[in-house]
Amino acid sequence: MRSHGIWRRPSLPLNTPMVQTVRDRMTPEQLTANDAENQHEIPLGENYGDPDKDAVRS
């Protein structure tokens, strides 16, 4: 992403309604696999962030 000439990358994927819809459709096995993958892929907290608490508004 770019804002004010500064490049930035999100370090914490947010649990948006779209992400939650996809997770709601997963089987228990798929959820377990997704959670295990997140432990390696998400550097902060190993889980999706809360958009209201973790997103910076500009």
Please report whether residue 56 resides in a domain: no
- Tens digits of residue pLDDT in 1-58: 455 665 555 566 778 888 899 999 999 999 999 888 888 777 666 677 777 776 666 5
pLDDT tens digits, 22-35: 999 999 999 999 88
Q: Count structural domains, the chain.
A: 1
Would residue 50 count as lying in a domain? no
Q: Are 42 and 48 in contact (CB under 8 A)?
A: yes
- Can you tell me the distance from the alpha carbon of 54 to that of 57, in angstroms, rounded to the nearest whole number? 10
Q: 19 is in which domain, residue-wise?
A: 11-43
Is position 19 within any domain? yes
Yes or no: say if 49 and 13 are a contact pair by the CB < 8 Å rule: yes
Whether residue 4 lies inside any domain: the answer is no
Gap between the terminal Cα atoms of the chain:
12
Q: Tell me, what's the pLDDT at 32? A: 94
Residue at 22 is within a domain: yes
